[in-house]
């Protein structure tokens, strides 16, 4: 493979100290849901306005190393008519791209799902590369119930993630491998730990089968937590301990970084949990964030669809990015919420 150095250079930028990744790659149906929550209709113009505002947040590059874009955004111009990727590059932020095509039922695996988008992936990726993308993201999901995820879902999803990652690396693009164990459900934290470990073991076995260079990828997992509807929730210390126990067992030390998703945690929970994880001292991997909702919710509320609220939205964005930048070093405290 001729891209080792390039992959290593991109990884190094993405896992810089004090910084993490902003996931702004909501698909059209997902961003419509987020906008509906603030009473805004999701039109092409509104999506452009909102994302352009967020990406021009002053000093965003002090805390954000990379932004994951949706294909539509990569093709859009900002409010000052620059390509969106250009806004990011101005702040030293690496542009990335979501490349999966969403999920649906996995045949013969009731309740389990599989992610689509391998057909034509290589061609799409070379186009995104020409537009400036240097890393990619692909998400697979696992539901927890008494019977899910089944063995078939664990194997099939791992295989798809590994095939995606191998294609990315063949083009010099860093793959973010995202196996998300969903937070929905009544399960215990112990149940989440068992599922997460089985999922990660299968993913790394598949990455090995497909010759994926571990040094040239990032893992984007969910933290180990109880289900959202479980009767008692776990504090940051318990989440940190359960998460690190699983990751130490299942994630090879050659992986340079683990960048967590927020997965339905509140912004404050996601920051406090990441902070507790980082307070456990040095680990083999950098431990950072790749949050969507936990970074953007306050900014979306402040914006509320009005361009005049731009400065308030940017200040909310700056604030969460800064707090997570601190949590990524274990330097956050809830007092900083003010």
Residues that bind ligand 13P (CB under 6 A): 23, 139, 178, 261-263, 291-294
Size (the chain), residues: 338
Residue with CB nearest ligand 13P? 292
Measured from the CB atom, the residue of 103 and 129 that comes closer to ligand 13P is 103
Beta-carbon contacts of 126 under 8 Å, excluding residues fewer than 6 positions away, are 171
Rounded alpha-carbon distances, angstroms, from residue 205 to 50, 155, 332: 40, 10, 35
Residues annotated as part of the active site: 220
Distance CA 288, CA 291 (A): 9
Nearest Cα neighbor of 247 from 181, 307, 309 is 181
CB 194 within 8 A of CB 242: no
Measured from the CB atom, the residue of 3 and 302 that comes closer to ligand 13P is 302
Measured from the CB atom, the residue of 55 and 291 that comes closer to ligand 13P is 291
Q: How near is the Cβ of 55 to ligand 13P at its closest, in Å?
A: 16
Largest CA distance in the chain: 52
Q: How near is the Cβ of 183 to ligand 13P at its closest, in Å?
A: 9
Measured from the CB atom, the residue of 172 and 267 that comes closer to ligand 13P is 267
Measured from the CB atom, the residue of 52 and 269 that comes closer to ligand 13P is 269
Q: How near is the Cβ of 101 to ligand 13P at its closest, in Å?
A: 13
- At residue 121, the 3 state secondary structure works out as helix
* Burial of 264: CB neighbours in 10 Å, binned 0-12, 13-18, 19+: middle
Q: How near is the Cβ of 2 to ligand 13P at its closest, in Å?
A: 29
DSSP string, 52-87: HHHHT-TTGGGTEEEEEE-HHHHT-B-TTSSBHHHH
Q: How near is the Cβ of 80 to ligand 13P at its closest, in Å?
A: 26
């Amino acid at each position: 493979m001729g891209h080792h150095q390039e992959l290593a250079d991109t990884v190094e930028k993405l896992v810089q100290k004090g910084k993490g990744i902003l996931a702004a790659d909501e698909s059209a149906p997902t961003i419509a849901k987020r906008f509906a929550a603030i009473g805004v209709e999701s039109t092409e113009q509104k999506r452009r306005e909102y994302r352009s505002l967020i990406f021009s947040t002053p000093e965003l590059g002090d805390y954000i190393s990379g932004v994951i874009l949706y294909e539509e955004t990569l093709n859009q111009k900002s409010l000052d008519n620059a390509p969106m990727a250009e806004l990011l590059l101005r702040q030293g932020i690496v542009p990335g791209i979501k490349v999966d095509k969403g999920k649906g039922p996995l045949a013969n695996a009731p309740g389990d799902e599989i992610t689509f988008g391998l057909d034509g992936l290589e061609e799409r990726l070379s186009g995104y590369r020409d537009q400036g993308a240097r890393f990619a993201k692909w998400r697979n999901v696992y539901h927890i119930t008494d019977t899910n995820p089944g063995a078939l879902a664990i194997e099939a999803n791992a295989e798809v993630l590994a095939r995606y990652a191998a294609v990315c690396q063949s083009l010099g693009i860093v793959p973010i491998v995202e196996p998300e164990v969903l937070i929905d459900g009544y399960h215990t934290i112990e149940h989440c730990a068992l599922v997460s470990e089985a999922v990660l073991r299968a993913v790394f076995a598949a990455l090995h089968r497909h010759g994926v260079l571990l040094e040239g990828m990032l893992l984007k997992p969910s933290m180990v937590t109880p289900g959202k509807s479980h009767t008692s929730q776990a504090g940051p210390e318990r989440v940190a301990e359960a998460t690190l126990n699983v990751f130490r067992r299942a994630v090879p030390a050659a992986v340079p970084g683990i960048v967590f998703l927020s997965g339905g945690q509140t912004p404050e929970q996601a920051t406090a949990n990441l902070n507790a994880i980082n307070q456990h001292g040095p680990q083999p991997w950098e431990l950072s964030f790749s949050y969507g909702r936990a970074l953007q919710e306050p900014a979306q509320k402040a914006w509320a669809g009005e361009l005049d609220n731009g400065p308030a939205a940017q200040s909310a964005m700056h604030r969460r990015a800064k707090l997570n930048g601190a949590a990524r070093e274990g330097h956050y405290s809830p007092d900083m919420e003010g």
